[in-house]
Structure 1
């Protein structure tokens, strides 16, 4: 055996945690020497240590009191493992303890990892860390040295006994008491800086204002700091008079305090407008909508330079509308976590369709705006069988879940995995009120102080329970609930979430998870325990955790088998083997594009919509984890056609009987999801104006993106004028516009449609959804020409639109290589269909993350013009754009899109007719995408 050396860093590909867990699962014995151990890191190793114990493997761990970073709680937990010997190196003033070494013993070799990582969640998963792994035989000098050094440290260290732990806990408590007052310095205004979300929002608000916009909306998950963001913007803009409007009085005082903290010494007076206070003369007034709606006439309509509506999703209500219509501020900002649509106007319309920012759960994790979560998917006990129960049959589900053994099992797992912080502050999500009551009673019987709440409990009762849970001095540890904590209620200190019911919807799952992600003093992570039964919809968990709007079987399966490695930061997802296999089997059986599946998904979403028919695409925009409505469009050519069919709705069917309307709706829907925004921005303008010039179109487009070239704006006008349509497309599509020189006007048929408010509403919904979805997925970046975003999904015909192709766009399909001038578009299938298991020898393949092998068509000779362009592409100025897909079809009759992986340059070639070309990619493939395209699951 040769010595092996590896550098282990934390990346999408791997991390130290993976190396440690796989080594613990296979070694004969282990020895750790680390400067400190936090519970956040230890929790991630618990299962691997337990597995080692079950195999009879023993270990020795040395840690230290260096800098007082080791948590007593972590030491307590390690002492519970009978297969571990634990010692502590007591550091003195002049002797530090810095070791970070992990040693694994095998039959005839040792594996040693030495580097920079202690046992904390960040060190094991997300920090920039270097750890060198050396695998070597027992008798090598280096190994002998390491073992001798470890033994010497072991002798110099003390046993972690009860007496030591008692003293150390007391010592840490005293330190925390002394130092907690010092942390107040961070509350001084000059020390508070915007987080990444707040910076982005402020930049976008500034961009909109420079374009003359007077309104904007910010959509961000609870806990991401919207109030601070607005205060930073006010700090920057310096308005003389400000009005801040909230829906609930308890938020008002906090908002005012935030502003006072961030804007000291500005000679600004702060006042309130509530039931008890009427500070009409203050510069910055903080008002509840209830009071303001009674007194706004006493204020000058032009008094305020800046008005902010917190919880802006209420702005569609009449009380707000009167206030909004009355005032004429210099700028108006709306902030919300859920942009729900009222029954009258859309919230987007109120804020002139200007979304300055949108932050969903995965963005918030990426930007470190919320705490990471450690998710443990645990196979439920055998006694619970949900395989033949409908997800809607709550009575039957409740009956089957009320099992004493399950209560014991849940408590056992809670104790095993533990929680962050001193006191457990836990929310348990149940199937029904009866289930919640049962769980609370059983937990109380077993000595864990618990309570249950539902929508039937009034607000004072809820607030009292929440206060008890949050208070370290109260005994209450768990609140079991059904529906009331899905959204809107904020309990920042929650450190544990129990998922005790089958997941019926990714939306609900994400809302429940989100309840515990709020940042809180000294809270470093959230523990999520999900008890996964044999229910038929278990795979929905994977869809929720994957966090991608569009998904297919392959990407989901790869995400599960790699432990959702693409999730950012110290977030950790671990499913036990049985749960993994169960979910993978369900995904294999499920047909995501079948009418049966789509109907189930639609009706589940309708329930989330309070039973109201979600007849608009924008209904899907408001929920993180909502189904992708484009899949419904793919089935029936427009979303309204799909709704009319599944709801058997006569009125909608009558509406769709108008041929011009139905064809127009289908044409607009066929462009979703948008790949470039220009065409829809122009159409959006034409909904209100009879015509648009090229300059006006450019101005409108710049409200959405940073830059645009004039030729692309004109190409969009030509496209809307049907210049590139073939005869079939012209028959299928009503002509909505007429191009006259550089001016695009509405056609008569478009005018007729817009006169009918119902037609206008549904047509505009497609435009609105297209624009906002584009903004969410592409941001305000300008991608040039061709207009491709790396790693985005495209169909062949998209390249014609993206590269301003001036001939029939339908010519862009059906061949492996298509060209527009100096741009060559290469469309490549890596494998045959997913269900064909035999190995096909394909010469097109990803060689590694930087290189690709591609074969031309049989007709291309090296001596031909096209052959020379491909072989000498750089010298000849030819751009080779690569589009790849793993399979042409994953599900029957559903053609998969291609993924754009950027440009490649030829570095060598061989053969002729076909020519085999080795390409170097201009962009290294991201690890997740590389795994997804190459891994067989």
Structure 2
């Protein structure tokens, strides 16, 4: 299909009849903001593909300029410019907005001199067509990321009337505008008055009530206490009201005497004030126990561990002195000083609270609280709930000179070179901050670097101070006070402020060091996320060098512990928003992270061991596969895909767990793990679950069909036959090295159903389930885990659009009697269905498949070629082209695409496709000019923008 025809069909599909072929890029669409999409994603995608843009937008807010600057910085490298028409209408646009817009070198900003200018339109010039987004959305964070806004996206050819109308309107506005200049901004600043807005004044004192995330936590804590538990742990992200949550819990418990324990006196003093607001009562009820205070008789005692853990102090306090003890920053509780406290006191309840239970030293924090995780409020959840200040993360490439980039081994001389300091300050200025003055916390690699950078920042007009662990607590507090007061712009440190620091006024976090761990990254990011009056967002600038651990960045930002490389790649290539927070990578920085990902093995036994130990600490027992799925830890698919493991029992053995399985039991577990647990078809798993639960491990077809119906799973005769082929292992009677996969899986049927009417576990297998508890537990775990994973797929149909499948999955889901994936290569024409597998980016021009140029045309259709030699008269080509009496294709084409071989064996299912009439031609391909038949495959469903970017774009 040529561009003109595609354009016409797209317009007809959107405005006349949706049965015309749609087109994600060109079809008119109503744009909205929801859980999985927002208007900013559409605008950003259009920016990344346009040749020029012109926006006419009345209102612009500072909180959307950081992600815009990232995108425009990459466009500047390509020589692409744009124009923004805006105004001073109603004084909505702050002077700071215009000041920041002036920093963008490839954006021409013009002020429209028209009273009442209230336009909201975004025009993108793509050369031979233009796209416009018009509606209710100004360029504000609320409009683009949060509000219920409607915008219409329409594309028009350059010869279209809509294009002419837009061009005329923009020409008129341009003629009635003048350029934004520093002189105009100075005048505007002098006369600008903030628009009057309703003011909601919250009382400084008065009753405090639990927030939306504290309420369920308190309910869980109350249930834990009621159950008779003596200890419990709450994980609560920094800034989510952890202290008040503790106070509410204590109020509900009503202890006669209460002890609060922490590692710093300043925290104890602040917590005392917060608790009094919640608990009430006279001041005499509250006291401190520290090096400076000894309020022994207080009902509510707030103590430092340094003082309380001393032998003399403990001797003055009875073991039952307190009936409720709260340990703040509980991840420290494994230390000897805390252990002395644990060993001395016997309260009715211990409560531990922490933001980071995962410790670098692998101490088991969960065990200290009897593995009772009462509630968990993680950073990502807190951001989505609006409990923290939003952030704009920007991954920037670090300074490079003569091909040299910062690494773990870079010399101090390079790290503090004048050119690098100038580059860093230029980036800090370009991306800016929220507020009148920078208040930044800079993390660097070395103490000498911190001191030298502080001196050079100061000399450049940005007052800064270095703080290291060699500085006294009093100096640290003095420097923090200077930053808050505006006497300093930056504190430069080396991991000193990872935790225990409360500087709500911070508006910039700058990372000039290697990401050592996801835990430390999250701790450092969290330093700036406390809310503060006037702070609308935090700018987070991460200078990314050629570090080995760069792969940790997307994992930390997305709280992703799945160990799935594909998910990490997607997080870099298609960064998502978190509430109204945004994640952005400059192109070079993204490439460095992807290189780091390519060089690391996320699913190595070493990494899986660490994840296993973390979850075992949390549960107090060896975790099963379903535990990993339930707690959002390593994806069970990672264990299934690991070539060193046959099944989870093999992994448990490597972890030191005694696992005794017969050869048959191990083979059955391996079969279920490798072939069924991915959940891409739930039917086998549903049948196995039914048989495992039945006392005699039997069921009839009526029971099975009822089970499928309850699960909403499709069923037909071919499916029932396929179940028999798979569970009898006949499907796997194909070579896999020296033996067939059927032999690898034990060579005996798992389920026997000779007449497709009655089903039963194979006799010896049924006895093993009844007599071997460990085997039965592992088998049930794999089945239940697979059913949990199957919820990601649509059980009503064979394939779920935009999910991933490999060739073997496709053979099974097409109900083919044998797994013919090994010799399939690019496609196989069956009697009724033909799967086509396309690897879009070829790794080697000399490879056989590199001669097939499977180009995506107009975002909607792909040019595809048969293998060679093939002619139009070849039987398989004739079957593909055949039509039935109603003119419909006899063979349904299923299209599967992956970006490159580097991403593994999984292909995204793009849906059914049809051969476009008039595009079929016999062509000579390759150096040897072998005959092949080419044709355009038109997708039945327009390809989503994000998937198109993931699969088909550089």
TM-score, length-scaled by structure 1: 0.62
Cα shift at 1:142:
9.8
333, 352, 357: which one aligns with 2:375: 357
Query: Structure 2 CA distance, aligned partners of 1:321 and 1:248?
Result: 17
Aligned-partner Cα distance in 1 for 2:362–2:78: 62
Structure 1 position 252 matched with structure 2 position 268 = yes
Where 2:326 maps in the other structure, the secondary structure is strand
Rounded to whole Å, the distance in 1 between the matches of 2:363 and 2:602 is 33
Q: Secondary structure at the match of 2:567?
A: helix
CA distance in 1, matches of 2:306, 2:324: 20
Q: Which runs of 5+ in 1 are unaligned?
A: 609-614, 646-651, 676-723, 745-765, 775-782, 794-813, 819-823, 847-884, 900-923
Does 2:221 align with 1:197? no
Alignment partners' CA distance in 2, 1:236 and 1:322: 28
Q: Is the 8 A contact 1:452 1:481 kept in 2?
A: yes
Residue 571 of structure 1 corresponds to 581
Kept after mapping to 2: 8 A contact 1:87/1:160: no
Whole-angstrom distance in 1 between the partners of 2:80 and 2:952: 34
Q: Give, in angstroms, the shift of residue 325 of structure 1.
A: 4.5
Instruction: Tell me: CA distance 1:227–1:932, structure 2 relative to 1, closer, same or farther (3 Å).
Output: farther
Task: Show the counterpart of 1:547.
Answer: 559
Deviates more, 1:518-527 or 1:534-543: 534-543
Structure 1 residue 119 displacement after superposition: 2.2
Deviation at 1:115, TM superposition (A): 2.5
2:238 maps to 1:222 = yes
Shift of 1:550: 1.6
C-alpha displacement at 1:738, in angstroms? 13
Q: How many residue pairs were aligned?
A: 722
Give the 3-state SS of the residue equivalent to 2:426 in structure 1. Answer: helix
Distance 1:784 1:23, change over 3 A: closer
* Conservation of the 8 A alpha-carbon contact between 2:768 and 2:775: no
Following the alignment from structure 1 to structure 2, what is the Cα–Cα distance between the partners of residues 296 and 317? Answer: 17
Alignment partner of 1:307: what SS?
Answer: strand
Task: From 118, 136, 143, give the equivalent of 1:116.
Answer: 136
Structure 2 counterpart SS, 1:262: helix
Distance between the aligned counterparts of 1:287 and 1:324, measured in 2?
14
Aligned to 2:891: none
Aligned partner (choices 259, 277, 288) of residue 243 of structure 1: 259
Deviation at 1:356, TM superposition (A): 1.0
Residue 439 of structure 1 deviates from its aligned partner by 2.3
Q: Does residue 1:185 correspond to 2:202, yes or no?
A: yes
Asked if the contact 2:392/2:583 (under 8 Å) is kept, the reply is: yes
The 1:433–1:792 alpha-carbon spacing in structure 2 relative to 1, beyond 3 Å, is farther
CA RMSD of aligned residues (A): 6.0
SS of alignment partner, residue 316 of structure 1? coil
* 1:466-485 equivalence runs, <5 A: 466-472=480-486, 474=487, 476-485=488-497
Change beyond 3 A, Cα 1:163–1:508: same
CA distance in 1, matches of 2:467, 2:636: 34
Contact 1:553/1:890 (CA < 8 Å) preserved in 2? no
Q: Distance in 2 between matches of 1:302 and 1:106?
A: 75
In structure 2, C-alpha distance between the alignment counterparts of 1:504 and 1:639, rounded to whole Å? 30
Structure 2 CA distance for partners of 1:138 and 1:20, relative to 1, 3 Å: farther
Q: Which of 437, 461, 467 is matched with 2:451 structurally?
A: 437
Which string of whole-angstrom CA distances, capped at 9 and with x for unpartnered residues, describes residues 42-82 of structure 1? 2222244564797474524223454x653321111224457
Partner of 1:77: 100
1: CA distance, partners of 2:785 / 2:202: 50
For the 8 Å contact 1:317–1:342, the answer to whether it is kept is no
> Which residue is equivalent to 1:713?
none
1:825-844 aligned within 5 A: 838=826
Counterpart in the other structure of 1:61: 85
Are the structure 2 counterparts of residues 735 and 836 from structure 1 closer, same or farther at C-alpha, using a change threshold of 3 Å?
closer
Contact 1:24 1:30 in 2 (8 A): no
Mapping of residues 276-291 of structure 1, within 5 Å: 276-291=292-307
Q: Which residue matches 2:572?
A: 560
CA distance in 2, matches of 1:7, 1:273: 62
Shift of 1:552: 2.8
Find the counterpart in structure 1 of residue 122 from structure 2: 102
- SS at the partner of 1:490? coil
1:43 and 2:101 equivalent?
no
The match for 2:525 among 493, 501, 513 is 513
1:533 equivalent to 2:553? Answer no
> Counterparts of 2:632 and 2:418 in 1: how far apart (Å)?
33
The yes-or-no answer on 1:421 pairing with 2:464 is: no
| 8 Å contact from structure 1 (residues 426, 478) kept in 2 | yes
Aligned partners of 2:769 and 2:497: how far apart in 1? 48
CA distance in 1, matches of 2:155, 2:450: 52
Instruction: Tell me what 2:738 maps to.
Output: none
CA contact under 8 A between 1:495 and 1:523: conserved in structure 2?
Answer: yes
Deviations 1:188-214 (A, max 9, x none): 445x54334322321221232332323
- Aligned match of 1:30: 54
Q: Tell me if structure 2 keeps the 8 A contact 1:617–1:639.
A: no
2:465 to 431, 445, 451: 451
Which residues of 2 match residues 295-694 of structure 1 at below 5 A?
A: 295=313, 302=320, 304-339=322-357, 346-383=364-401, 385=403, 391=408, 393=409, 396-472=410-486, 474=487, 476-562=488-574, 564-565=575-576, 567-588=577-598, 590-593=600-603, 598=606
* Residues 175 and 481 of structure 1, relative CA distance in 2, 3 Å threshold: farther
Following superposition, the deviation at residue 482 of structure 1 comes to 2.3
How much has 1:504 moved relative to structure 2?
4.4
SS for the counterpart of 1:539 is helix
Cα pair distance change 1:160/1:265, threshold 3 Å: farther
Given that 1:491 and 1:516 are in contact with CA atoms closer than 8 Å, whether structure 2 keeps it comes out as yes
Cα deviation, residue 503, structure 1:
3.5
What SS does the aligned partner of 1:308 have?
strand
Structure 1 556/138 Cα, relative in aligned 2: closer, same or farther at 3 Å? same
Q: In the TM superposition, what is the alpha-carbon distance from 1:831 to its structure 2 partner? A: 12
Query: Secondary structure at 2:401's aligned position in 1?
Result: coil
Q: Helix, strand or coil: the match of 1:333?
A: strand
1:86-128, Cα deviation, whole Å (9 max, x unpaired) = 327798xxxx875433344676765432333222334323433
> 1:225, CA displacement in angstroms?
1.8
Residues 713-753 of structure 1: per-residue CA shift (max 9 Å, x gap): xxxxxxxxxxx9998999999989999xxxx9xxxxxxxxx
Q: CA contact under 8 A between 2:95 and 2:188: conserved in structure 1?
A: no
* Greater RCO, CA 8 A, separation 6+: 2
Q: Deviations over 1:881-930 (max 9, x none)?
A: xxxx999x9899x999999xxxxxxxxxxxxxxxxxxxxxxxx9x99998
Tell me: CA distance 1:49–1:932, structure 2 relative to 1, closer, same or farther (3 Å).
closer
Given that 1:495 and 1:525 are in contact with CA atoms closer than 8 Å, whether structure 2 keeps it comes out as yes
The whole-number CA distance in structure 2 between the counterparts of 1:725 and 1:898 is 35
2: CA distance, partners of 1:422 / 1:174: 18
Which residue is equivalent to 2:155?
135
**Between 530-539 and 199-208, the greater mean CA deviation after superposition:** 530-539
Cross-structure match for 1:788: 788
Q: For residues 135 and 264 of structure 1, do their structure 2 counterparts lie closer, same or farther at Cα, with a shift above 3 Å needed?
A: farther
Alignment of 1:733-882 (within 5 A): 788=788, 838=826
1:496: Cα distance to partner? 1.9
Equivalent position to 1:9, from 18, 32, 43: 32
User: Is the alpha carbon distance of 1:195 and 1:603 closer, same or farther for their aligned partners in structure 2, counting shifts above 3 Å?
Assistant: closer
* 1:589 Cα deviation after fit: 5.3
Distance 1:895 1:286 in 2: 58
In structure 2, the partner of 1:804 is none
Partner of 2:726 in structure 1?
Answer: none
Consecutive unaligned residues in structure 2, runs of 5 or more = 1-6, 12-26, 615-620, 678-760, 794-807, 838-895, 910-940
Q: CA deviation at 1:168?
A: 4.2
